[in-house]
Amino acid sequence: MALSGVEIFKHLPKTNCKKCGYPTCLAFAMKLAALQESTDKCPDLSEEAKKFLGAAAEPPIRGITLGGRGVKVGEETVLFRHEKKFVNPCPIALNIKDTEGADAITKHIADVNSSEIDKVGQMLRVDLVCVTDESGDPARFAAVVKQVADGAPNAGLILNSSSPASIEAAIAHCADKRPLVYGANAENLDAMVKIAKEKKVALGIYAKGLDALSDLSEKVKGMGVTDIVLDSGARTAKEMVEEYTMIRRAALKKSFKPLGFPVISFVSRDDSVLEAAVASIGIMKYASIIVVNSIEKWKTLALLTLRQNIYTDPQVPMQVEQKIYKIGDANENSPLLVTTNFSLTYFIVRGEIENSKVPCWLAIMNVEGLSVLTAWAAGKFVAGSIANFIKESEAPKLVAKKELILPGYVSVLSGSLEDKLGDGWKVVVGPREANQLPAFLKGRAA
Ligand code: SF4
């Protein structure tokens, strides 16, 4: 039964205390209705309300926050991104075996720490490290986990071992980072559940095949662990697509609770190119966490870019902040250009200005993320609004010469914009295409 936000709101305490992280009970109710939040977040919910809202207000796939920077996984509500959007980008985890030499581990840690990429205004990075207990030696495993926890303090951790003794030894060094404990199975279940409950961490469970995995997940939940991450044992690309799709479908379309959890995908391969290809499939088809053996720059760039594409809301244009951007060593004699705050427009125009090596001021106007022509057609990038934006911005103080360069596509606005700006402002029509900017700017500077 799906409940509307208003129906859910009627059952909330209505104190707007913000303990759930939302400014009002109504905002929280809307999130519950969108199946993007859990009733657990409201500590003041009555037992009666909990019972009523029950499963109706639970996300079909539970959201789990992992340590480090607090990366959230799960909480997806659709099978296809065009239906709505995918919510929580799957983190990439670098696998480090505890049998690797000290130098190799140090290099892995350095690679994780330097993995950040600025991609159209978003900072993307490798968020997790998965330490794998290859040695079977709790002391060794714990030592490597400590080295990673100390060396990469912002990365979240996955403790990968089926040995409760190894997990016990390692978690002592990183419990505050709320690692994902991975490796509960039918054999070690009691001990692993005990650790997860005591340390209040998420538990990764493994069973081969979806029937066995569902049974195990029910059992773990019955034992009191609610933050569960699933591994069905899918390792080939074919198995991944089939099983992850069935898991997502069962959770979303059948409300099948035993599979309503994030999925961890071990795509690790010795062949780095093959690993990148298989990881790409995981990103596109429903893996919530992807574990890889290596994070060369080329691979990280490819995987994070793909993930960014998949997890960008197709209904909301990407935007940058409205302000006057200084490019290069711009001063009061530098040209002032104006354009819209569509991310792609901003980054392309900025890139071409940088290519020109002519320092400039770039005035970015908020038009809700539309491109120049679309914003003009929608009546958002027109003479009156551009003039108001420029006059109210700091632009008049930044440039000595009152001259504004307008995108060539809206040259039709130049006369009326000059009138609206008044006060001696002159409007110059710039090129239509951004790639013509270097020649244009260099020609004017000459
Ligand atoms: Fe309302 Fe509960 Fe959120 Fe407080 S914690 S604002 S009572 S929903």
Give residue-wise pLDDT tens across range 264-318: 999 999 999 999 999 999 999 999 999 999 999 999 999 999 999 999 888 877 8
pLDDT over threshold 90, residue 415:
yes
Euclidean distance between the first and the last CA atom of the chain, given in angstroms as a whole number: 69
Residues 6+ apart with CB under 8 A from 388: 420
CA atoms within 13 A on the CB side of 83: 8
The answer to whether residues 349 and 339 touch, using CB atoms and an 8 Å cutoff, is yes
Residues 125, 156, 58: CA angle, nearest 5 degrees: 100
The structural architecture, per CATH, of the domain 64-310 is: Alpha-Beta Barrel (3.20)
Pocket perturbation via mutation, ligand 1, pick of 6, 10, 20 by most ligand atoms within 8 A of CB: 20
CA 45 to ligand 1: nearest atom = 2
For ligand 1, the distance from its centroid to the CA atom of residue 175, given in whole angstroms, is 28
Note the pLDDT of residue 55. Answer: 65
Architecture of domain 5-57: Orthogonal Bundle (1.10)
Mean pLDDT of 25-33: 89
CB 69, CB 104: distance < 8 Å? no
With cut-offs at 50, 70 and 90, classify the pLDDT of residue 131.
Answer: very high
Q: Is the pLDDT of residue 121 over 80?
A: no
Number of neighbouring beta carbons within 10 Å of residue 378 = 12
**CATH classification code of 323-445:** 3.40.50.11600
Domain boundaries, given as residue ranges, for the chain: 5-57, 64-310, 323-445
Res 140: pLDDT: 97
Q: What mean pLDDT is predicted for residues 31-52? A: 84
Whose CA is closest to atom 3 on ligand 1? 20
Query: What is the Cα–Cα distance from 62 to 92, expressed in whole angstroms?
Result: 19
Is the pLDDT confidence value at 380 over 80? Answer: yes
Angle made by CA atoms 32, 265, 127, in degrees to the nearest 5: 70
Centroid of ligand 1 to alpha carbon of 158 (angstroms): 32
CB 321 within 8 Å of CB 97? no
Q: What is the pLDDT of residue 141?
A: 98
pLDDT of residue 69: 85
CA distance readout (Å), 331 to 247, 265, 387 = 57, 51, 22
Q: According to the model, what pLDDT value does residue 318 have?
A: 82
Residue 405: band (very low, low, confident or very high) from pLDDT cuts 50, 70, 90: very high
Given the CA of residue 12, which atom of ligand 1 is nearest to it? 8
Residues enclosing ligand 1, CB less than 6 A?
12-13, 15-20, 22, 25, 28, 42, 44
1 has pLDDT over 60: no
Q: Which of 6, 8, 9, 17 to mutate to test the pocket of ligand 1 (most atoms within 8 A of CB)?
A: 17
Looking up tokens 């104190």 gives 15
Mean pLDDT, the chain, whole residue set: 94
Task: Give pLDDT tens digits for 242-251.
Answer: 999 999 999 9
pLDDT of 128 > 80? The answer is: yes
- In this prediction, residue 68 carries a pLDDT of 78
Could you tell which of 6, 10, 12 is best to mutate to test the pocket of ligand 1, judged by most ligand atoms within 8 Å of the CB? 12
Q: How far is the CA of 50 from the centre of ligand 1 (A)?
A: 13
The three-state (H, E, C) secondary structure of the chain, written as one string? CCCCHHHHHCCCCCCCCCCCCCCCHHHHHHHHHCCCCCHHHCCCCCHHHHHHHHHHHCCCCCCEECCCCCCEECCCCCCCHHHCCCCCCCCEEEEEECCCCHHHHHHHHHHHHCCCEEECCEEECCCEEEEECCCCCHHHHHHHHHHHHHHCCCCEEEEECCCHHHHHHHHCCCHHHCCEEEEECCCCHHHHHHHHHHHCCCEEEECCCHHHHHHHHHHHHHCCCCCEEEECCCCCHHHHHHHHHHHHHHHHHCCCHHHCCCEEEECCCCCHHHHHHHHHHHHHCCCCEEEECCCCHHHHHHHHHHHHHHHCCCCCCCECCCEEEEECCCCCCCCEEEEECEHHHHHHHHHHHHHHCCCEEEEEECCCCCCHHHHHHCCCCCHHHHHHHHHHCCHHHHCCCCEEEECHHHHHHHHHHHHHHCCCCEEEECCCCHHHHHHHHHHHHC
